[in-house]
């Protein structure tokens, strides 16, 4: 699924997730793209909107609410 997501992002945005030079450092390990993903490609009907973000182990996919919560918890640790 990770490779399919990378291909989908590159095809529809022209952004190469593996090259993070244009991604601000604060987001490099976190939220990268917010997008609508076709249910046919990712048959998870309750998650029409997914957030792909980069982490140490590669790309994880989660719901918008989960990503917001993770980013919020991460920001608390930086203060």
Mean pLDDT of 27-44: 47
CA 41 from centroid of its chain's CA atoms: 16
Give me the phi and psi of 38, to 5 degrees please. -60, 130
Query: Does residue 1 have a pLDDT over 70?
Result: no
Query: pTM for the complete prediction?
Result: 0.34
Q: How crowded is the C-beta side of 9, counted as CA atoms within 13 Å?
A: 22
Mean pLDDT of 31-57: 48
Query: Are 35 and 49 a contacting pair, CB within 8 Å?
Result: yes
| pLDDT of 24 | 42
**Domain boundaries of the chain, sorted by first residue:** 2-78
Token readout for 70 is 């993770």
Query: Does residue 19 have a pLDDT over 70?
Result: no
């Amino acid at each position: 699924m990770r490779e399919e997501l990378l291909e989908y992002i590159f095809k529809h945005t022209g952004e190469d997730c593996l090259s993070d030079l244009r991604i601000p450092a604060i987001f490099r390990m976190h939220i990268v793209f917010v997008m609508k993903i076709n249910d046919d490609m990712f048959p998870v009907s309750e998650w029409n909107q997914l957030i792909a973000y980069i982490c140490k182990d590669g790309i994880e996919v989660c719901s918008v609410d989960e990503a917001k919560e993770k980013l919020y918890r991460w920001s608390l640790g930086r203060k």
